[in-house]
Structure 1
Amino acid sequence: MSKPVGHFTSYILGDGSLLESLQEEYGSTFERMTKREKLFLISALAAQSCDQASGRCREEIYVVGHQINSSLPPSDREGLIEALINQVRWGRSLLDTELSPME
């Protein structure tokens, strides 16, 4: 069962924020959005966050992305999105300084 947007964000009922407006328009769990629309928003948010993150991706990560998209079924790709979001938000990550120099 989906949890409301406020569970994951700083939204407070009656705060007049964009999050409140989105909840009013699309429902507290965005149930009035299509799956495609939700995936688009995930993609847009992830692209912006990636652009703002320091460092660069190793070449092998581009290969891994292609392998995931070409080999995993949709349900596993969605599960991997969920796992990666959890790791970005709450997990530990390798620091750019811990990577070997890019050639």
Structure 2
Amino acid sequence: MSKPLGYYTSYTPGDDSLLEKVQEKYGSSFEKITKREKLVILTVLASHIGCQLEGDVRSEIFAIAKDMTSELSLSDQAGITEFLIAQIRWGQNAEAVHHS
């Protein structure tokens, strides 16, 4: 069983926040949201977070990501997603790339 929303966020029951409204509608573990819908939320949030960060993305990273979608199983793609989320939230990151 997955941990509830409040474990991962600043949500506190009774705070009348967006997170409270989402939890009330979809469950504390988003059990009323399909896997596909969860991936849409993840895509939108990841894109938004990425746009807030400085630096450029090397073209080779786009190529690697494309290769991952075509060469890795869905299970390995999900594993890479989990790995990257942990790295983004808790891991060390390389310095931003700036092209002149």
Structures share a fold, TM > 0.5?
A: yes
Q: Deviations for 1:57-101, whole angstroms, at most 9, x for unmatched residues?
A: 0111011100110111111111111110100010000012xx5x6
Q: Tell me the C-alpha RMSD between the 2 structures.
A: 1.2
Correspondence 1:41 to 2:41: yes
Residue 56 of structure 1: SS of its match in structure 2? coil
The aligned residue for residue 2 of structure 2 is 2
Cα deviation for residue 102 of structure 1 reads 3.8
The aligned residue for residue 75 of structure 2 is 75
Number of residue-to-residue matches in the alignment: 100
The aligned residue for residue 58 of structure 2 is 58
Cα deviation for residue 6 of structure 1 reads 0.5
Alignment partners' CA distance in 2, 1:79 and 1:18: 29
8 Å CA contact retained: 1:68, 1:77: yes
8 Å CA contact retained: 1:58, 1:102: no
The aligned residue for residue 95 of structure 1 is 95
Alignment partners' CA distance in 2, 1:15 and 1:64: 42
Gaps of 5+ in 1: none
8 Å CA contact retained: 1:14, 1:20: yes
Gaps of 5+ in 2: none
The aligned residue for residue 12 of structure 1 is 12
Q: Which has the higher contact order (CA 8 A, sep 6+)?
A: 2
